[in-house]
Chains A and B, each alone.
Chain A
Amino acid sequence: MQNRSLWFWLFLTPVILGLGIVVVIPFVYGFIFSFTNWNGLVATEFLGFQNYINLFQEDEFMNSIVFTVQFAVVTVILLNIFGLGLALIVTRNIKTNNLLRTVFFMPNLIGGLILGFIWQFIFVSVFGDIGNMFGIEGMQGWLSTTNTGFWGLVILTAWQMAGYIMIIYIAYLENIPKDLIEAAKIDGANGLQRFKNVTFPLVAPAFTVSMFLTLSMAFKIYDQNLSLTNGGPFNSTQMVAMEIVRTAFSDNQMAYAQSKAVIFFLIVAVIALTQVYYNKKREVEM
C-alpha cells in the first residue's frame, strides 16, 4: 500500500509540475495582472474592475465575440455533418476504404498557418480566375468583404477538421454491434430508419466528444484567422483570440488584454461545460 502510493505520486510528479509551471501559475498570475495596468514590464497601479468595465464598452471586442460565436455555430454544425458523413462513407465496404480515410485525414496534418496561405491563394487567385473565365460575379473578390471572409474561414476550418472528427465517428460506428443492425433489418427497417433509430443513438457519445472538440476549437482558432484574412477587411473578421493578441502586442495594453482573456476563458468554459452536461444526459448506455 505504502509502495503503491509512493509510485503513484512519483509518476504523477512530472505532470503536476509541468501543468503547474506552464498552466496553473501563469493563469493565476494573468488573473492578478488583469486587475492592474501592467504593460508587460511594470504594473504601477491597481485598477480593480476598471479593465473589465472598459472591455464591455469596446465595440471592437464585442464585434469579435459576435463574429466568433457566429463562426462557432456554423462550423460546429458543418463539421459534425461532414465528419459523420465521411465516417459513414468510409465504414461501408468500399475497396479504397483505407486510402480514403488517409486522404480525408490528411488536411489535418498540415499546419493551420500554411493552410491559411494556401486557401488565401485559392480564394483570391484561383476563385478570381474561375470567376473571370465564366463570368461568375460571386467568385470574385473573395476575402475582400466581411461575408466572404467569414465563409472563407468556415470552408477552411471544415476542410481541415472534418477528417479528424471523422476518425472519432469511425471509432464509434465500428463499435456498433452488427446484431442490432441485423435485428432491425429483419424487423423490416429501411436504411434511413436503421440510421435514425439504431446507428444515430448509438453514436451519441461521439457527439459529446466531437462537439466539445469542435466547439472549443472554433472559439480558440487563431492561426487560420491570421494567415487567411488577418482580420481584414477593417478588422471585421477578427476573432476573439486575435483581438486579444492585438490588444496585447500591437496596442501594448497587456493587462487590458489579460482581462479580455479572462472573459474569453469564462465564456468558453461555460459553453463547453454546459454542453458536456446536456450531451451526457442524452447518451444511450450500451
Chain B
Amino acid sequence: MKGKTFYSSIGTVLLASSIALTGCSFSSGENETSGDGDNESSGGGDKVTVDVFQFKVEFKDQFEELVSMYEEENPDVEINVKTVGGGNDYGASLKSSMSSGEEPDIFNIGGPTDVDEYEKYLADVSDTEAADAALDGTLSSVTRNDETLGLPFNQEGYGLLYNKQVFEDAGINADDIETHEDLEEAVQTLDNQKEELGIEAPFAFPAKEKWVMGNHLANTFLADEFNHDVMETYESDTVQFEMGDQMKRFLDLQNEYSIQPTLNLDYSQQVEEHFSLGNVAMIQQGNWVYNTIESMDPEFAEENVGLLPIPVEGYEGTIPVGVPNYWVVNKQSEDEVVEASKNFLDWMYTSETGKQFVTDEFKFVPAYEGYEDLEIADPISQEIYNYASEGNTQGWVFLGAPTAWTEDALGVAMQEYIAGDITWDEVEEKATSAWEESRQ
C-alpha cells in the first residue's frame, strides 16, 4: 500500500513537471513562429539564415555593420553573427556548440591541426572567387586532396616595432640595421643614452607571455628549416633548431636590455604602459597592436611607429607574414545555406564595397589580390603589405607545430632558461623531445 502511494505520487510529480516543462517549450515555440512571421512580412519569400560564429572580438562592431550592409543588398539572406573571445575560449565554445548540435554555418579555424579535427565539417570552397584571388601560399594549410577547405581571414606580420622619435634622437637610422650586429650596436647606443632619451630601457620583453617567445620569436629562426611551409612543419617528425644559436642570441639581447624583471612583464604592460607611453624604444610585436596603441595615443600610432625586421642570417630585410585564421563553411548545413555562406564570404573579400570595408574598417592586411590600389588604414599594416607584395617574407611555420608545443614546451623552456634554471642546450633538448613525443 505504502509502495503504491509512493509510485503514484512520483507519477503525479513527473506528470506535473512534464506539463511545466512542455509549457516552457510551447511558449518558446510560439515566440519563434511570431519571429518568422515578422521576417516574412518585411522580407517576403523564403529567407536563408546563415549563422556565423567568429572569434575576432576586435572587429565585432565593424563586422556586424558589414553584415547589415550585405543583408540590405540581399534581402533574402539573414545572417546572425555570434562572437566569442579570442584564443582558447573560441576553440572551446566552438567545440561545445558543435557537440550540442547547434552547428554554425560559417566559423573560423586556425592551422592544419584544426583542419584535421573539423575535416568532416569543412566544405570545399575552391569554386569561390575569393579562393582564386587568395595570394600564393595562403591556402596551403587548408588544402587537402585538391580541396580548398578555408578562406584566409587576413595576413598578419610582425617584427620589431620601434619608436621613430627615439631612434631619431639617438641618431640611429633604422634602414641601416640589417644584421644582428647592427641591431646590437643600435641597442647599445640606446642603452648608453637612456636618460637623455627619456626611456627606461631599449626593449620591453614580455617573457611572461609564452606566445611572444614560443610562437613569434622562435618562428623567425625555425622557418628556414621547414622551408617556410606550414604543411612541411605539420608533417615533420622532429625539430632541429638549426638556427638555435641565433635564436638564443636574439632572445638574450631582448631579455638583457629589457625592463626588468621580464618574467612578470605581460603583453598589456609591454604595449600599453611601456611602448605607447614611450618608456622603451622597441618591442617585438606585429600589426595587431595598432588599435591598442591608437587607443592610447592616436598621434603616436599614426606618425611614430616603424617596423624593423628581426635579423636572421640569410633573411635580412624580410619579415614573417602569415595567415593566422581561416573562414570555413559547414558542409553539414543545407545546400542553400552553404551556397549563401560562400556568396557572403565572396562578397566580403571580392566586391568593391567589401574590399573598401576590409581595408578601411577592419584595417586588415588583405590576403587577396586586387587590393593594390586601396590604401590600408594603419601604417604598420601598410608596411607589412609592402613587405608581402614585394615577396620579402618568411613563413609562419609555428602554426604547423604540434598542439600547444610552441607555448607549453618551447615557451615554458625559454622561461626556465630566462630564470636561469636550465641552459640553452637543455631548452633545445626539451623542446625537441616534446615535439618528437607528440608526433609519434
**Chain A residues with a Cβ under 8 A of chain B:** 1-2, 5-6, 8-10, 13-14, 17, 39-41, 123-124, 140-145, 230, 232-235, 246, 248-252
Contacts and interface: CB of A to CB of B under 8 A. Distances in A.
Residue with the greatest number of chain A CB neighbours at <10 A, chosen from B9, B14, B17, B407: B9
6 contacts: A13-B16, A41-B118, A141-B263, A144-B262, A233-B264, A233-B418
B34 interface: no
Contacts of A8: 9
Given A124-B264, A251-B403, A233 B415 contact: yes
Given A5-B6, A9-B10, A144-B261, 19 more contacts: A5-B5, A6-B13, A41-B95, A141-B264, A142-B264, A144-B264, A145-B263, A233-B263, A233-B416, A233-B419, A234-B412, A234-B415, A234-B416, A249-B91, A250-B88, A251-B403, A251-B408, A252-B403, A252-B404
A234 B6 contact: no
Contact of B17 (A13, A41, A233): A13
Contacts of A141: 260-261, 263-264
A232 B415 CA distance: 9
A5 B1 CA distance: 13
Contact of B408 (A41, A142, A246, A248): A246
A9 B10 CA distance: 7
Interface in B409-426: 412-413, 415-416, 418-419, 421
A47 B263 CA distance: 39
A10 B88 CA distance: 42
Contacts of B95: 40-41
B5 A2 contact: yes
Nearest to B273: A125
Q: Which 6 A-B pairs have the closest CB atoms?
A: A144-B263, A234-B415, A144-B264, A141-B261, A144-B261, A6-B9
A133 B404 CA distance: 40
Contacts of B277: none
A126 B373 CA distance: 50
Nearest to B114: A252
B351 interface: no
Interface in B1-54: 5-6, 9-10, 12-14, 16-17
B208 interface: yes
B117 A39 contact: yes
Given A13-B13, A39-B117, A232-B208, A250 B408 contact: yes
B99 A40 contact: yes
A145 B262 CA distance: 11
Residue with the greatest number of chain A CB neighbours at <10 A, chosen from B12, B13, B210, B262: B13
Interface majority SS on B: helix, strand, loop or mixed? Answer: helix
Contacts of B88: 249-250
Contacts of A230: 208
A226 B99 CA distance: 26
B133 interface: no
Contacts of A14: 17
Given A5-B9, A41-B98, A232-B415, A10 B263 contact: no
Contact of B92 (A9, A142, A249): A249
Nearest to B10: A9
Contacts of B99: 40-41
Interface in B254-277: 260-264, 269
A124 B403 CA distance: 31
Nearest to A251: B404
Contacts of A40: 95-96, 99
Contacts of B415: 232-234
Contacts of B408: 235, 246, 250-251
Contacts of B262: 144
A5 B118 CA distance: 51
A145 B419 contact: yes
A233 B12 contact: no
A195 to B, nearest CB: 42
Contacts of B416: 233-234
A2 B92 contact: no
A232 B92 CA distance: 22
Contacts of A144: 208, 261-264, 419
A39 B99 CA distance: 11
A41 B404 contact: no
B207 to A, nearest CB: 8
Nearest to B87: A250
B404 A10 contact: no
Nearest to B6: A5
A140 B261 contact: yes
Contacts of B412: 234-235
Contacts of B421: 234
A232 B211 CA distance: 13
Contacts of B118: 41
Nearest to B263: A144
A145 B412 CA distance: 13
Contacts of A250: 88, 403-404, 407-408
B293 to A, nearest CB: 20
A235 B414 CA distance: 12
A41 B117 contact: yes
